[in-house]
Amino acid sequence: MLKILVTGGKGQLAQCIKKLSSSYQFEFIFKSSSELDITNAKNIEQELSNYSYDYCINCAAYTQVDKAESDVTKADLINHIAVEKLAKACSKNQVKLIHISTDFVFSGDNSLPYLEDDKTNPLGIYGKTKLDGESKILQNLDQFFIIRTSWLYSEFGNNFLKSMLKYGKEREELSVVFDQVGTPTYAMDLAEMILKIIQSQSKKYGIYHYSNEGVASWYDFAFNIFKLAEINCNLKPIRSQDYPTPAKRPAFSVLDKSKIKKTFQVEIPHWQKSLSKAIQNIN
């Protein structure tokens, strides 16, 4: 039976993996940041050498995009330096690493969906530290899957879906940007994709893109949340310049999923279909 370590064990993606875990014949060990500090090389080395893991799914990340602009040291420690330590320990102990990255490694200047080998050019600290983490995996490890995803949401943790459900019920009117375009991704779908990669025992290592199918602005995403949840809140579309944030976001960050679909023979659900499922699960 394959033994799998999941870091960032209390985050939304790890909780989705946990929910699906009973459907797979794997042994899972979930570790929160308080149980396993991935910024501590000794801690990681002990964990990996003591328990003979086959895979490590790294769900640990600093994801507060705006806060990262002022909290540079911590964002870099978790998204970059800790990832280097994890990659080195995985290499030494022959553990395959599945690492979650982001669409924010791109600038958003494209007009076509981003391919895995398109030029990266992050706009902010969050994207830069995530890209630096990717680079350290490439330098230190042969057996890895880096999965870039976008706009992650689920029933668990804090995310855009849960914020909209809360604020939509509390307020009469909400303004949401319409000029940032990407794809909402249901973390449960991503969790299933990760487990399929492990089940396949594939050696086709490298960088992959995974999000749900389709394209949306944040306004479209919010509009559909209110529609599906039957929330009567006046939703106003606004430009990014009317809602300034510490971190600049890519205007267009749609990911091309051709590589992952072809390699693993998977069909990816449309974001609206998955959103409907997520809202049903919350209710």
Could you read off the pLDDT of 259-271 as tens digits, one per residue? 999 999 999 999 9
Give φ, ψ of 80 to 5 degrees: -125, -65
d(CA 93, CA 111): 42
Residue 245 inside a domain? The answer is no
Q: Is residue 27 part of a domain?
A: yes
pLDDT of 283 higher than 90: no
127 in any annotated domain = yes
At 126, the pLDDT band (50, 70, 90 cuts) reads very high
Burial class from Cβ neighbours inside 10 Å (0-12, 13-18, 19+) for residue 209 reads buried
Whole-angstrom Cα distance, residue 256 to residue 259? 8
User: What whole-number distance in Å separates Cα of residue 187 and Cα of residue 114?
Assistant: 20
Q: Mean pLDDT, the chain, as a whole number?
A: 96
| Distance separating alpha carbons of residues 112 and 102, to the nearest angstrom | 17
Are 16 and 185 in contact by the 8 Å Cβ rule? The answer is no
Q: What number of other Cβ atoms are within 10 A of residue 170's Cβ? A: 9
Q: What distance in Å separates the CA atoms of residue 124 and residue 119, rounded to the nearest whole number?
A: 16
To the nearest 10°, report the CA torsion of 179, 218, 98, 248.
40
236 occurs within a structural domain: no
Phi-psi region of 171 (alpha: psi -120 to 50; beta: other; left: phi over 0): beta
CATH of the domain at 150: 3.40.50.720
Structural domain count, the chain: 1
Report CA Rg, the chain. Answer: 18
Q: Which of 53, 55, 62, 126 is catalytic?
A: 126
162-196 confidence digits (pLDDT tens): 999 999 999 999 999 999 999 999 999 999 999 99
Answer yes or no: is pLDDT of 205 > 90: yes
266 touches 257 (CB < 8 A): no
Q: For residue 224, is it left (φ>0), alpha (ψ between -120 and 50) or beta?
A: alpha
Instruction: Show the tokens assigned to 163.
Output: 């914020």
User: Residue 243 pLDDT > 90, yes or no?
Assistant: no
41 close to 65: Cβ distance less than 8 angstroms: no
Domain assignment present for 217: no
In a domain, 117, yes or no: yes
Provide φ and ψ at 181, rounded to 5°: -120, 135
Residue span of the structural domain in which 207 resides: 2-158+185-212+254-269
126 catalytic per annotation: yes
Tokens of 130: 């995530």
Q: How confident is the model at residue 200 (pLDDT cuts 50, 70, 90)?
A: very high
Is residue 47 in some structural domain? yes
Examine residue 260 and state whether it is found in any structural domain, yes or no. Answer: yes
* Tens-place pLDDT, residues 24-76: 999 999 999 899 999 999 999 999 998 999 999 999 999 999 999 999 999 99
- pLDDT grade, residue 125 (50/70/90)? very high
